[in-house]
Amino acid sequence: MLTEVRVIYLAFLKICLFKIKPQDIPVSSSLLAMTIVTYAIVTMFLLLVRETVAQAIMMTLLEVSILFGFIYILLRLVKKPERSLQTLSALYGTGTILSLIVLPLYFIISMYDQQPVNPNVIFSLLQFLLISLTIWNITVMSYIMRHSFEAGVFTSVMLAISYMCIVLSMSAFLFTTEGVS
């Protein structure tokens, strides 16, 4: 079992490196369930750097649900619902890989945020790395969407950015308490 999980996550890493396509991973509801659970766990750890446990749980559920609904609806609209399992597995699996790469950066940045004075060069470098990883994430998502929807590069990039904007907007709307009396 452990070897199979390792092989699957190596496949997700290869998708992140654009060496294989999302259609190269198996069509499996148990694989989708595994990727959703691991994605949720890693997302929780990322959110716990800055959020309370309750907020992290709710934000994780929101993000997992939005991705699922977004892809499910889009695949229905383009009349390719049979690609749901592979597409969602690829997105949750690659999201897990990329989140694990980002996790140490989040911890380091949060430590710098708590310092009275931030060393500008180091903090700027960390922010640059975080932005670079975000761009990589958008690129991987658009790569998966391009293959799943048989869409052009521009369309798939816009879909990936739209998904991220929806998640950020919904999270800000539901979980931001600043300025509320």
Structural domain includes residue 126: yes
- Which one-letter DSSP state was computed for residue 25? S
- Domain limits for position 97: 2-175
CB contact set of 164 (below 8 Å; sequence gap of 6+): 138
Tokens describing residue 9: 């996550």
The number of beta carbons lying within 10 Å of the beta carbon of residue 122 is 11
Structural domain includes residue 33: yes
The SS3 call for residue 137 is: helix
* Residue matched to tokens 């932005």: 131
Structural domain includes residue 44: yes
- What is the count of structural domains for the chain? 1
| Tens digits of pLDDT across the chain (181 residues) | 667 778 888 999 999 999 999 999 999 999 999 999 999 999 999 999 889 999 999 999 999 999 999 999 999 999 999 999 999 999 999 999 999 999 988 888 777 766 655 567 777 788 899 899 999 999 999 999 999 999 999 999 999 999 999 999 998 888 876 544 4
Structural domain includes residue 180: no
Structural domain includes residue 134: yes
The pLDDT value given to residue 125: 82
**Cβ–Cβ < 8 Å for 105, 130:** yes
Structural domain includes residue 61: yes
Structural domain includes residue 125: yes
The pLDDT value given to residue 121: 73
pTM (2 d.p.): 0.89
Residue 114's φ and ψ, nearest 5 degrees, are -85, -10
CB contact set of 22 (below 8 Å; sequence gap of 6+): 15, 86, 87, 89, 90, 144, 147, 148
The pLDDT value given to residue 179: 43
Structural domain includes residue 59: yes
| Pairwise CA distance, residues 141 & 129, whole Å | 18
